[in-house]
Structure 1
Amino acid sequence: MYILPVIILYLYVYLGFVVGTTNITTTQFLTDPESLTSNDSTFRIGFFSPFESTSRYVGIWYNIDPQSSTLEVIWVANRDNPLNDSSGMLKISENGDLQVIDGKNTTFWSSNTTATGTVVAQLLDTGNLVLISNPSGLMIWQSFEHPTDSWLPSVKFTVNQETKENPMLRSWKSDSDPSSGSFRFGIVPRTLPEFFTLKGDKPYWRSGPWNGYLYIGIPNMNSEVSTGFNIIDDHEGSLYVAYSVLNRSILERYMMNYDGLVLQKDWDFAAKRWVVKWQSIGSECDVYGNCGAFGICNPTGSPICNCLTGFRPRKVDEWRQGNWSSGCARTAELHCDSTEKKEDVFLRLEHMKVPDYSEWISANDHGDCGNKCLGDCSCLAYAYYSGIGCMIWNRTLIDIQQFSGDGTDLFIRLAHSALSEQSSKWRVIVGVLVITSSAVFVALMYFICRRMKQRRGLKSTAKEKPNIWHDNMKIAAGGRNGEFGDLPLFNLEKLLTATNDFSEGNKLGQGGFGPVYKGELEDGQQIAVKRLSKASGQGIEEFMNEVVVISKLQHKNLVKLLGCCVDGEEKLLVYEYMPNKSLDSFLFDSRHKEQLDWEKRLNIIKGICRGLLYLHRDSRLRIIHRDLKASNILLDEGLDPKISDFGMARIFDPKQDQARTLRIASTYGYMSPEYAMEGRFSEKSDVYSLGVLLLEIVSGKKNHFLYDETLNLLAYAWKLWNENEMLLFIDQKISDPSCQEEILRCIQLGLLCVQELPHDRPNVSTLLYLLDNNAMVVPDPKQPGFTQTKPCSEDGQECSVNDLTVTAVSSR
């Protein structure tokens, strides 16, 4: 009496797959261009051609947006053997083999299965293509066991170390070629299993060990990618890896990008598009072993690679050039098994991605783990993590990364002398700092007292008022030392001759500093002379600031300061001459903007980024520009950009993240919210200005340009982004379909830069990396700051604010 219900349940589970949907059988074929859908219409199987390709493939893709011209393909049958015409057919042979054939009956792909009786192929609601033997109901083959580049919920990968069975995702060769690419993604079965991306047979990225809940080498995994993951070790040589989604209405998958990225993509039903929720590589530090053996990578550092304490670069010259692949070597050998009395010590590093090749050993707690490592002469480091226990490393330490949070504490084994040497260095540094600070304090007090004495003397006399700054500069001009260092000093008479007495015919333009004139020296060299205007809101402080800052900088994307001149009331800066003036003279002029095609605009964007990256990270000084705008980007004869006007720039300490000022000096429309409202500035305030500039370059409109009388350029871009109408934002002069995707990517990057909160904005190195690597996925932006504005005057002219004072600043 119990047999009938069992049979009914059995038929429901297995034969229920084929009810209500057209199937593929030995007599019912799928012929190009036909397709079939899953029972709930989520997935579709059929013939397709990738973008810009005429080859035909059988694949499975999402069917949620049938109107879309782009297919989100999750599986390809004949990926390495495409059909060259539309005569293809998907059928089941008489012996139960699922095949892709052409009109000549040539087989291009098969499931390599045999079965007796009736065999049916069906696409399930999970996206799994299955072969079912009727009437037994046995599943004899499924596409989930033969993945291409995608991993869907409910897919379980089985890794068998004895049979070497290890299904891995395999990237497409390109976005138009689904054949097997260079990258693979899957579990590497070690003592502590980890996910790896392999390029060929070499590691390209890794997740860090699994602790039963998350992969400890992925920062912020709690909120991004951990939900639903599970790894089961049967302790008999097999691992079972799967992930699921709690809400089945969520459409989600992981995919192996053709450029080596692993992406988590979710379908946004409201916006009707796929959204990247996570990607494996967000910076250079995520690339496996970027800093070599015993090197540590910090994406916010400058440079990003450094040797661990107690180690030094193996090849110093290569490290100075930014090639860190040679790694580092110990400065002092370990004392284990030596006759020296002092035993080795451990250096604690916090928030770390642990190195590769971890091994698990049994230990009661953290202390026990450390003692066992210390007692093993081959142990180079250890870590103790909840859910894993004691991890040790007995070989080269590689692929170590410094996280801003998360990660774990890593303890590096050092010789006692190495740690003592480090402590001695710090004592010396502290001593030098104390002495230097004392000397600076004494000198400062002397200067203040002398200044006050001079002022009292000036007040007591009725003579012509002198200017102490002028006096100091005259001294510098006479002795060629002091304020100007080695910067050449020009004679005023020579500059008057060169500029024809600052004639209107030689005038190149007018800035906040004052007018700029073209000149030609006696030797024929052309120059640009910036003359401080008496009516300028800027003064001697900005003049000296520009002299001090730019005279110490050299980069092809920074304008070169040739010298200066101080003579009485005249204060002049002499620059290299830029024949094409500034970017705004091209970008916002309908007569000239067509000279800036997309290739030139992209080159300008990248050049500005490289110049700004030099200021922020790579120069001898760490500079925050504070006045980045189109008029401060000069163009040479090849339309290559050079950042200019450093009067507002500030020098930052390498360890300083931000500063505050009561005197806000910049241009309205380019100022970040935190700078305009609170006087806080940092690298990220420059990034905000860069984002505004990037959006101006793409749109050909100034930020103060108003749409619907209420929306400025940023607000308009944000509105179009949410409405999925970004094509309307592009300047008609560059609206070429061939570069449309690249332009849209730049708009997205611009919106990332102008996000309201500084920590949401990318740094310049990340921005440049995303510009140079189109395969890298760009995150979705959040709402920009200052998305509404109104004209400062009735005619809507731009407001330029060069000296705004914050009268109430709250302390932190």
Structure 2
Amino acid sequence: MMATSQLLEHIILLLLLLSFFLSVQTTAAAGFADKLERGQNLTDGETLVSAGGSYTLGFFSPGVSTKRYLGIWFSVSNNTVYWVANRDQPLGDRTGILIFDDVDRLVLLDGSRRRAWSSNFLAAPAAVVQLLESGNLVVRNGSSDTSLWQSFDHPSDTLLPGMKLGKNLWTGGDWQLTAWRSADDPSPGDYRRTLEMAGLPELVVWHRDVKKYSTGPWNGLNFNGVPERSWFADKYPLRVTTSPSEMTFGYTAAPDAFLTRVVVNHTGATERLVWDVGTGEWRSYCKGPRDTCDTYARCGPFGLCDAGAASSAFCGCVEGFSPVHATPSSQEVKDSAGGCRRDAPLDCAGGKTTDGFKVVPGVKLPDTQNASVDMEVELEECRDRCFADCSCLAYAAVDIRGGGHRTGCVIWKDDIFDLRFVDGGQNLYLRLSKSEFDNRKRFPTLLVATPVASVVVIVLVVFLIWWRSRRRIIGGIPHNPTMAVPSVGLDIIRDVTQNFSNGNIIGQGGFSVVYKGLLPEGRTVAVKRLKQSALTTKGNKDFAREVEVMAGLRHGSLVRLLAYCSESRERILVYEYMQNKSLNVYIFGATNLRASLNWARRLELLKGIAHGVAYLHGGSGESVIHRDLKPGNILVDDEWNPKIADFGTAKLFAVDHAGLDQTIVVSP
């Protein structure tokens, strides 16, 4: 009996020991489920699973491909891979292995021990890789919470909660999404999604280097071209971060929110999807581009796209503008890619204007990459700034959240692009000529009032047509009563330049001297005075040509001619003042000045100059050939915007519509 009792005790003890060892092994296995430590490896067929079971890391073959990749996917949807390690170097078979190498880097090796991928971080003797429940694969040194490397810093085609798009201002690195090459090929394709930060932040999809789709600018709540984002703002709050270390966009997920992802696919479409637990499928919450009006700049400059206006090919013009048709055939097929041109010229010079603003309501605001932004002012002050600046074409509020007096101010001084109607859109305030606000019909009233008045009107109209057909020359300048550049007296010029004081000279060349002038209202101008030795027949023609050409040009990349003076033996041009002088100073000047032209700034300058040249070569409605484009004739304002100047040698090509044969007239 004693022996039996002792035997039973031994059996119980063995069972307890066995239970203990099994529990230890089970715990160890569970600990290994989401981690890989130095000395361990992961082979094809094995996986790491995040602690909550939401995400899986392992080897896979996409679609019909037989190539092998290391990636992370949603555990509920094995074919939904959101991150791929070896996008450019697939494995040819199932011999891949993930391991820490001799210098403690995490590497992916093929069967021949050749490296197909590796992470990049400082050596860590106790390195551990772990797949977190956020979906982020991180490498840490032992139990430290600091990540030496993380997959969220190297996104593929998908943005998860907690990830970022934008730029690291400390390292210069950026975060962007790059689409797969195809549904069966995860190598980087031609489409990418970035956060553009010049002007206001906006998300842009690029096809190679061509902008294809934009969400519109950030307005404090969402990107204003995607009002659908408000549907899920409570579950997946959006955020834009601007700090000394980064400028980024991302989103988070509420604790009770379903799995979600934002993906840019191989066709260039961007989509937010949410996992539907009931159906076991991904549901699309919003997609861009959603329609033809989401195609970037679909209707050209000053065009307004309406997705519900198929009969007009979706494109119209903002009020005060009319379509530009490159050819009769483009008008026939309603091709509006050429955009729109202003119906009546603006009236603004010398600090005086009769222009006004009209609201374009309910729109996705235009591209802001060349706009200026000030977050510290109210909308009313924004209007005053735009009204006082003759180069300002439109303005709008930046922040629509309310609850404060600072709405911010965004101002456009260049052609506006990518404007469309959108549900819940914002107001754009567009600068128009006074005539666009005058809806009175004077001629019909006169004709009804009395037959005598009608005869007088007809005679006046005939006389006006005859009078305008003659190009009278006054002081060497074609007289045009509608010219937007006023003539000012010599006494005014003397007053603003302190009688051409030598202390006001800011530059001079072989034919002219440039003075800094101060207008009574405080605006600084540049006064270009031709030297007396330059007042030859050719000099007078060059002066007249510059006034004639500049009078009809309005573009943010051209220096604005504000006024001219042609009195006695004086020939003077008054231009807007460029604080940063010409590019000559920075290209050929001192080392510290050359250093201010970093590559990003050089690129922006080149883009601005290209916009100006494109406008001159047809965008203005006429074709102007500058003929002397060089660094000395490219001025730079206080915001580093380039301005093309000196049109004394330009040729103006314009169609004489009065002639039946459509003769091309070239100014002398």
- Range of TM-score over shorter length: 0.5 to 0.7
User: Residue 316 of structure 2 corresponds to which residue in structure 1?
Assistant: 306
1:330 counterpart = 2:345: no
CA contact (8 A) 1:41 1:64 kept: no
CA deviations 1:129-188 (Å, max 9, x no partner) are: 111112555421110111001111122456234643220011111111111111111311
User: Residue 386 of structure 1 corresponds to which residue in structure 2?
Assistant: 400
User: Residue 108 of structure 2 corresponds to which residue in structure 1?
Assistant: 100
User: Residue 201 of structure 1 corresponds to which residue in structure 2?
Assistant: 209
1:51 counterpart = 2:70: no
CA contact (8 A) 2:393 2:414 kept: yes
TM-score, length-normalised on structure 1?
Answer: 0.47
1:353 to 360, 364, 371: 364
1:376 counterpart = 2:395: no
- Give 3-state SS (helix, strand or coil) of 1:371's partner: helix
User: Residue 88 of structure 2 corresponds to which residue in structure 1?
Assistant: 80
Higher helix proportion (structure 1 or 2): 1
CA gap of 1:145–1:354, structure 2 versus 1, over 3 A, is same
User: Residue 400 of structure 1 corresponds to which residue in structure 2?
Assistant: 419
CA contact (8 A) 2:325 2:335 kept: no
CA contact (8 A) 2:303 2:317 kept: yes
CA contact (8 A) 2:34 2:51 kept: no
Distance 2:203 2:146 in 1: 32
Distance 1:193 1:119 in 2: 37
CA contact (8 A) 2:181 2:190 kept: yes
- Give 3-state SS (helix, strand or coil) of 2:35's partner: coil
CA gap of 1:25–1:289, structure 2 versus 1, over 3 A, is same
User: Residue 506 of structure 2 corresponds to which residue in structure 1?
Assistant: none
Distance 2:39 2:170 in 1: 40
- Give 3-state SS (helix, strand or coil) of 1:270's partner: coil
CA deviations 1:387-429 (Å, max 9, x no partner) are: 44222111110000012x3111111111223444xx369999x
User: Residue 723 of structure 1 corresponds to which residue in structure 2?
Assistant: none
User: Residue 476 of structure 1 corresponds to which residue in structure 2?
Assistant: none
User: Residue 608 of structure 2 corresponds to which residue in structure 1?
Assistant: none
CA deviations 1:592-615 (Å, max 9, x no partner) are: xxxxxxxxxxxxxxxxxxxxxxxx
Distance 1:114 1:233 in 2: 28
- Give 3-state SS (helix, strand or coil) of 1:159's partner: strand
CA contact (8 A) 2:68 2:91 kept: yes
CA gap of 1:131–1:342, structure 2 versus 1, over 3 A, is closer
Distance 2:217 2:82 in 1: 27
CA deviations 1:672-721 (Å, max 9, x no partner) are: xxxxxxxxxxxxxxxxxxxxxxxxxxxxxxxxxxxxxxxxxxxxxxxxxx
1:169 to 172, 177, 181: 177
Output the amino acid matched with 1:308: V
CA deviations 1:257-291 (Å, max 9, x no partner) are: 21112111111001011111111221011121111
Displacement of 1:238 in angstroms is: 2.3
Distance 1:373 1:143 in 2: 45
CA contact (8 A) 1:79 1:179 kept: yes
Distance 2:137 2:253 in 1: 20
- Mapping 1:595-606, distance limit 5 Å: none
Distance 1:427 1:297 in 2: 34
- How many residues are aligned here? 405
- Give 3-state SS (helix, strand or coil) of 1:72's partner: strand
Distance 1:86 1:48 in 2: 9
Displacement of 1:362 in angstroms is: 5.7
Displacement of 1:101 in angstroms is: 1.4
CA contact (8 A) 2:216 2:364 kept: yes
1:27 counterpart = 2:39: yes
Output the amino acid matched with 1:53: S
CA deviations 1:486-531 (Å, max 9, x no partner) are: xxxxxxxxxxxxxxxxxxxxxxxxxxxxxxxxxxxxxxxxxxxxxx
CA gap of 1:23–1:365, structure 2 versus 1, over 3 A, is closer
Distance 1:261 1:342 in 2: 45
1:109 counterpart = 2:117: yes
Displacement of 1:255 in angstroms is: 1.0
CA deviations 1:726-763 (Å, max 9, x no partner) are: xxxxxxxxxxxxxxxxxxxxxxxxxxxxxxxxxxxxxx
1:229 to 232, 235, 238: 238
CA gap of 1:89–1:369, structure 2 versus 1, over 3 A, is same
Distance 2:304 2:442 in 1: 20
Distance 1:73 1:120 in 2: 23
CA contact (8 A) 1:360 1:390 kept: yes
CA contact (8 A) 1:220 1:406 kept: no
Higher strand proportion (structure 1 or 2): 2
User: Residue 541 of structure 1 corresponds to which residue in structure 2?
Assistant: none
User: Residue 643 of structure 1 corresponds to which residue in structure 2?
Assistant: none
CA gap of 1:104–1:319, structure 2 versus 1, over 3 A, is farther
- 4+ aligned runs moved over 6 Å, structure 1: 424-428
CA contact (8 A) 1:310 1:419 kept: no
- Mapping 1:687-766, distance limit 5 Å: none
Output the amino acid matched with 2:392: C
- Mapping 1:213-228, distance limit 5 Å: 213-224=221-232, 227-228=236-237
Name stretches of at least 5 consecutive residues in structure 1 with no aligned partner: 1-15, 432-812
User: Residue 416 of structure 1 corresponds to which residue in structure 2?
Assistant: 434
Distance 2:168 2:56 in 1: 31
CA gap of 1:17–1:314, structure 2 versus 1, over 3 A, is farther
Displacement of 1:196 in angstroms is: 1.6
Output the amino acid matched with 1:337: A
